[in-house]
């Protein structure tokens, strides 16, 4: 295996921008998906669930597939510039699709309105907001408590 170091070191400003793009994509996808599901349940729009051999495919599965795709793409093709911004957007969408049905992970139940789904989305939202707006605080704490993972917040 050839060892070429083509890694791109992002500046703190670029990291903040990346997290902001992920956050906006995450929230937009969450709002759109929740509205579409609600509108379909109310009969405002036709219901067209994805089915494979009469098995309903939840958007959790689409989120996992997208997360897998983004991971492989980022690791093997190392996107740059405009491709990198698209990667951030797709990653935020995939996070939202996956965590919107988080209760299915835990309970293996398709209760879409389970409170745990909202808790998971809230936790992810808090983490993203902290990484974007309170980076200096976490960096100082990371200096004092090494296991917090300085690389993530640097």
- Return the structure tokens found at 45: 């729009």
Residue 142 to residue 138: CA distance in whole angstroms: 6
| Cα-Cα-Cα-Cα dihedral sign, residues 72, 148, 100, 35 | negative
- The residues that bridge with 52 in the sheet, in sequence order, are 55
Q: Between 33 and 145, whose confidence is greater?
A: 33
Residue 154 to residue 16: CA distance in whole angstroms: 10
Cα distances from 34 to residues 28, 29, 112, 131, 134, in angstroms, run: 10, 8, 10, 25, 29
Q: Render pLDDT for 41-100 as a digit per residue (tens, 0 to 9).
A: 888 988 777 778 887 778 888 999 999 999 999 999 888 888 999 999 999 999 999 988
| Cα distance from N-terminal residue to C-terminal residue, the chain | 29
Q: Cα 6–9–14 angle (5° rounding)?
A: 135
Q: Domain map of the chain by residue range?
A: 12-144
pLDDT of residue 3 exceeding 50, the answer is no
Q: Render pLDDT for 99-137 as a digit per residue (tens, 0 to 9).
A: 888 877 777 667 777 888 888 888 888 988 888 888 778
pLDDT of residue 1 exceeding 70, the answer is no
- Return the structure tokens found at 40: 């379909």
- Are the C-beta atoms of residues 86 and 115 closer than 8 Å to each other? no
Phi and psi, residue 57, nearest 5°: -95, 110
pTM over 0.85: no
Crossing angle of the two packed helices 12-42 and 81-99, in degrees rounded to 10: 40
């Amino acid at each position: 295996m050839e060892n070429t170091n083509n890694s791109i070191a992002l500046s703190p400003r670029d990291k903040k921008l990346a997290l902001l793009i992920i956050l906006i994509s995450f929230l937009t996808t969450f709002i759109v998906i929740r509205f579409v599901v609600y509108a379909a349940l109310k009969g405002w729009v036709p219901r067209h669930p994805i089915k494979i051999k009469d098995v309903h495919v939840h958007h959790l599965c689409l989120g996992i597939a997208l997360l897998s795709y983004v991971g492989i793409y980022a690791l093997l093709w190392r996107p740059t510039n405009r491709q990198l911004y698209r990667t951030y957007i797709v990653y935020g969408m995939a996070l939202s699709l996956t965590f919107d049905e988080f209760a299915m992970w835990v309970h293996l139940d398709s209760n879409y309105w389970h409170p745990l789904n909202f808790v998971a989305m809230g936790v992810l939202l808090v983490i993203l907001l902290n990484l974007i707006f309170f980076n200096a605080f976490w960096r100082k704490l990371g200096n004092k408590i090494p296991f917090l993972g300085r690389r993530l917040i640097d």
